[in-house]
Amino acid sequence: MSFESIPKILEQLQIETLYQQQPLQRLLDCWEEVVGKVIATHTQPISIEREVLWVATSGAAWAQNLTFERQKLLKKLNQILPTPLVDIRFSTARWQRTKKKPLRQQNISSAEHPSYLGNIVDRNQNIHSLPKNPHTAFADWSQTIKRRSQSLPLCPNCESPTPGGELERWGVCSICAARSF
């Protein structure tokens, strides 16, 4: 083997690798155009394995709805792709939370807000974990408030849960303190 042939082999390997990656790359380039902007934000094409496209979705409802739509999507995609796909599988399993970083940060700050009502705004959550109706949503919320107040010390005067800072300052809760002024 001559030294010259090594770069040539490497070049050939590179071309082969590129060729194998190409269908997915090509698909990623046109994905938003095919499915539309809204679906594109809730989906992430992961891989093409044996002519089956695997797509991660942000939630179970998206996976379910898109599964019903997949024949229409296949038709559109096969007009663009060099090698036709036989099927598309949608699953939440490989959804990358990191892709939605700005949204996650927003969720964290809303969860810290005192009037936060649970998982309603968390798009990464499975839809089945959402409260079923306003009644259960309220029950969840009051449970959270109850848990939160149980960890607070009690005011020695009226026995209501009181932030430690208030007890330190006045020896009673702010309401009792206001009454004594």
- Provide, rounded to whole angstroms, the least separation between the CB of residue 181 and Zn ion: 13
Given the complex with Zn ion, which of 141 and 170 has the nearer CB atom?
Answer: 170
- Provide, rounded to whole angstroms, the least separation between the CB of residue 178 and Zn ion: 9
Which positions ≥6 away from 63 have C-beta within 8 Å?
57, 90, 91, 92
Given the complex with Zn ion, which of 36 and 163 has the nearer CB atom?
Answer: 163
Annotate 125-162 with DSSP letters as a single string.
S-GGGS-SSHHHHHHHHHHHHHHHHHTSPBPTTT--B-
Residues between 101 and 160 with contacts to Zn ion, criterion CB under 5 A: 155, 157-158
- Provide, rounded to whole angstroms, the least separation between the CB of residue 58 and Zn ion: 46
Q: Tell me, what amino acid is at 115?
A: S
- Provide, rounded to whole angstroms, the least separation between the CB of residue 37 and Zn ion: 54
Which positions ≥6 away from 77 have C-beta within 8 Å?
27, 30, 34, 53, 85, 88
| Cα distance between the two ends of the chain | 97
> Should residue 15 be labelled a site residue for Zn ion when binding is judged by CB under 5 A?
no
Binding residue count for Zn ion, defined by CB under 5 A: 6
Residues near Zn ion (CB under 5 A) are: 155, 157-158, 172-173, 176
